[in-house]
Amino acid sequence: MQKKAFEAVVVHTGSPAIIECELIVVPVFKGETTETSFFAELDAATGGQIGQAMLRREFRPNGKDCFITPVTSDAWRARRVALVGVGSNDQMAWRPAAAKIVLTARSSRIRQVGFMVRGEVDGSSFAQAITEGMLFGSFDDRRYKTGDRSDDPHAEEISLNVLCGESTETSVAEGVRRGVAIGTSVNIARELSNEPPNLLTPTVFAERANTIVSAQGVEVEVLDEAAIEGLGMGMILGVAQGSVEPPRLVVMKHNPTDAANHPVLALVGKGVTFDTGGISIKPSADMDQMKHDMGGGAAVVGAMRAIGELQLPVRVIGIVPMVENMPGGKAIRPGDVLVSGCGKTVEVLNTDAEGRLILGDALWYARQLGATHLVDVATLTGSCVIALGKAASGLFGQPEDWVRTIERAANSGGERVWQLPLYDEYTDQLKSEIADLANIGGRAAGACTAAAFLRAFAEGVPWAHVDVAGTAWLEKSKPGAVKGATGVMVSTLTELASMSKEWSLESSSPEV
Ligand code: BES
Ligand code: MN
Ligand code: ZN
């Protein structure tokens, strides 16, 4: 586990002048006019540098620029000011802007940042977003690097002061509290997904999940191979049988005393600790990346942690089937038929389509446990990466109301989702000669046929599926984000649980 490298404090003050910190960050919204008394005050504090920068167009309110300059005024206690473009008044731009500035600050050995809440924004959401963004930008995963780091600025602790501006201290403090809970959980999910597959086996993943969420008061049950067998979940067992590592099914329950019996939200995450493809083995190039095939499971663990910490007043069950997909002597073969927990039979035509198998059983089990609303998150298909690239996660589901709700949650969480269709033709592609269903539907619309397979196990319960194959992993570092696991969907799932009042009354019968 990483050491605590971040501390957030809320400061209520009218003027940035009295804040003692190394860098004051002033967000500037796209298209904002800078001919105001506020910018004049900044200009005066920096000995005219800010005015000059605007005049020379070194800083433009275009949502992208960043300009840092020393404070010259004795009346100010801060050492430097940064103008940071944060796009238009758009949620999606807030987190990345904060992540970028924290990385810049760190490279200059700045350890104390003051961030202003200003502009036409909801103070609480803005404070939450910048806190999440700063935590995201502070993530530095060098657990397996030995060697001296005493000269590495990224190893230093950083503290954040959030200046309330026009917003009330209560609302900003609430935002910061949510931001810390979610941002920390996102980083924990990233840490889990970056874990090497020899160290994070299903057994270890289950133990880690248990430790992480129990600490926030979430109740945990870890089902071992015998228990999974006892419940008849033949698809989880089938995928696991090619590996010497036994499977686990982790069930996490957030059951607050003040929550109504209805709804019961179930979050289901794919937990393949390594995906070789099995007997339908994958090519070797980039196969190492398949250690993050448990990214959906890590997102569910992260979200359960945040939901527990925030004590959200709604019942939530987190379910993560954990397996390793290996081509061992006992592995399932193309042509094998598996009997799922719900009794449906599945012909395995490709052992590399394993995610849908374990998720099908997990979705069924979620319904057995009383789930009224389902969401699953999975690095499910290469086809989704072809369709949407790394720009958005694929979203599927029914009824439409429930899909719209997931979209709204993603929007508050600053994560992009894009809905893809679930036409009946995709289910037709899954016909098997000898079983109820085949586990693949041919090359055409691979992300959609995978989703159609899952739908068969959600039956009538409102269900959404988020394919994060393109978004759970960053191949190259970019400003504000280091390469590796992204922790995608921790934020969206937590927002979804936060907005339960909005969706609990929606009709729970799918349209036909
Ligand atoms: N884990 C993979 C999907 C994946 C691909 C995740 C790239 C992240 C990045 C999944 O289990 C898989 O192998 N899917 C196959 C399905 C096919 C055999 C029908 C795929 O997409 O090729
Ligand atoms: Mn696979
Ligand atoms: Zn997989």
C-beta of 353 in contact with ligand 1 (< 6 A): yes
Assess whether 282 carries a catalytic annotation: yes
Quick one: pLDDT at residue 157? Answer: 81
Residue with the smallest CA separation from ligand 1 atom 22 is 382
Q: Is 381 in the pocket of ligand 1 (CB under 6 A)?
A: yes
Given the residues 30, 60, 64, 282, select the one marked as catalytic: 282
How far apart CA 81 and CA 119 sit, in angstroms, is 17
Cα 158 versus chain centre, distance:
22
- Catalytic annotation on 142? no
Residue 156 confidence (pLDDT): 78
Cα of 439 to ligand 3 centre, how many Å?
Answer: 13
Cβ neighbour number for residue 153 with a 10 Å cutoff: 15
Nearest to 138 by CA among 116, 117, 158, 110: 158
Residue type, 216: Q
Residues whose CB is under 5 A from ligand 2 (ion)?
275, 352, 354
Q: Which residue bears the tokens 């404090």?
A: 9
Q: Is 303 within 8 Å of 409 (Cβ atoms)?
A: no
Identify the pLDDT of residue 64.
84
For the Cβ of 354 lying below 6 angstroms from any atom of ligand 1, the answer is: yes
Closest residue by Cα to atom 7, ligand 1, is 382
Q: What is the C-alpha to C-alpha distance for residues 290 and 293, in angstroms, rounded to an integer?
A: 5
Ligand 1 centroid, distance to 327 Cα (angstroms): 16
> In this structure, is the dihedral angle defined by the CA atoms of residues 184, 64, 175 and 108, taken in order, positive or negative?
positive
**Pick from 65, 82, 72: nearest CA to 26:** 82
Query: Tokens 């789930």 map to which residue?
Result: 371
Residue whose C-alpha is closest to residue 277's, from 466, 468, 440, 451:
440
Residue 512: per-residue pLDDT: 41
Q: Could you tell me which of 379, 366, 148 has the C-alpha nearest to residue 271?
A: 379
3-class secondary structure per residue, 88-146: CCCHHHHHHHHHHHHHHHHHCCCCEEEEECCCCCCHHHHHHHHHHHHHHHHCCCCCCCC
Segments in the chain below pLDDT 70:
1-5, 507-512
How far apart CA 268 and CA 339 sit, in angstroms, is: 20
Ligand 1 within 6 A of CB of 246: no
